[in-house]
Amino acid sequence: MRFAIISDIHGNLAALEAVARDLESADIDNVYAAGDLALFGPHPRECVDLLRQNGWASVRGNTDRMIADLEELAAAGSLDPETGVGRIVAWTRDQLGRELVESLGALPPSITIESRAGAGRLSIFHGTPRSDEEGFIEDDLDEHLLELTQGVDASALIGGHTHHSFARTVDGTLIANTGSVGRSYEGCPGRATYLTLDDRSGAWKAEIRHVQYDYRRNYRAIEEMGAPIGRKFAKPFLTAIAPP
């Protein structure tokens, strides 16, 4: 089987559509998403709708959880829906509507797939197996990556969250980060990144794929849609560099 894993779309429809077109010619059996589908971009509903229309299952990312839990977070005083990130979350919820907001909250924290070719178990999550707010980093020592994945029975462990892609084998286990479809921090504006996995050799093999898209179209849409996304959170769409 050959799978694609996409992650960190962040409401960027231009990027997601470009990746969807690339997938049409990529000999893919199924597509999975590793979360962070809607927040910070101008087209949250359209992105979630596209995943649902294509039947692409997703895990829940930390920003998906924020969207679903805004009322509880506001009541606890940890997220103000009138300012900053809270205001963006509130706008995103309005765009999605109740049914899609609830669907984000109901997404599972992980997806497990058993290889039919004897490659072992594949585990997909947003950040790491233990948290959706930390992620695999290419510069991590092997020992640290093993610590982050301790106790997980899988031959391949795939996350996102950091918006930086890489794949390597550690102590016989493939550990990879998908990078980001819609909000890459790899310094190449207009480049969407995702991962493919192939088990046909009897072992999981990963390929990182890059797709060009019209990032200026996405940036213009922030104003066109009236999204309250200030410069700090909008600028990474132009620079492909993480906000300070």
Q: Are 185 and 241 in contact (CB under 8 A)?
A: yes
pLDDT of 96 higher than 90: yes
Q: Are 86 and 92 in contact (CB under 8 A)?
A: no
- Length of the chain in terms of residues written: 244
pLDDT of 116 higher than 90: yes
pLDDT of 26 higher than 90: no
Arithmetic mean of pLDDT, 93-111? 98
pLDDT of 19 higher than 90: yes
Q: pLDDT at position 70, please?
A: 98
pLDDT of 72 higher than 90: yes
Mean pLDDT, the chain, whole residue set:
97
| Distance of alpha carbon 222 from alpha carbon 232, whole angstroms | 13
> DSSP secondary-structure letter at 128?
B
Antiparallel, parallel or unpaired: β 156-159 and 173-178? parallel
| Distance of alpha carbon 37 from alpha carbon 7, whole angstroms | 7
Q: pLDDT at position 244, please?
A: 86
- Condensed to tens digits (0 to 9), the pLDDT of residues 138-168 reads 999 999 999 999 989 999 999 999 999 999 9
| Structure tokens belonging to residue 125 | 């999550």
- Condensed to tens digits (0 to 9), the pLDDT of residues 119-130 reads 999 999 999 999
| Structure tokens belonging to residue 175 | 């550990």
AA identity, residue 43: H
Count of Cβ atoms closer than 10 Å to residue 232 Cβ? 11
User: Cα dist. 228→49, 187, 210 in Å?
Assistant: 21, 24, 29
DSSP assignment string, 137-176:
-TTS-HHHHHHHTTT---SEEEE-SSS-EEEEEETTEEEE
Beta bridge partners of 157: 123, 175
Q: Are 6 and 48 in contact (CB under 8 A)?
A: no
Q: pLDDT at position 178, please?
A: 98
Q: pLDDT at position 94, please?
A: 98
Half-sphere exposure of 106 (CA within 13 A, CB side): 7
pLDDT over 70 for what percent of the chain?
100
Residues sharing a CB contact under 8 Å with residue 71, sequence separation 6 or more, in sequence order:
none
Residues of 79-105 as b/e, b for ≥16 C-beta within 10 angstroms? Answer: bebeeebbbbbbbbbebbeeebbebbe
pLDDT range class, residue 177, cuts 50, 70, 90: very high
Residue 53: exposure state from Cβ atoms within 10 A (0-12, 13-18, ≥19): exposed
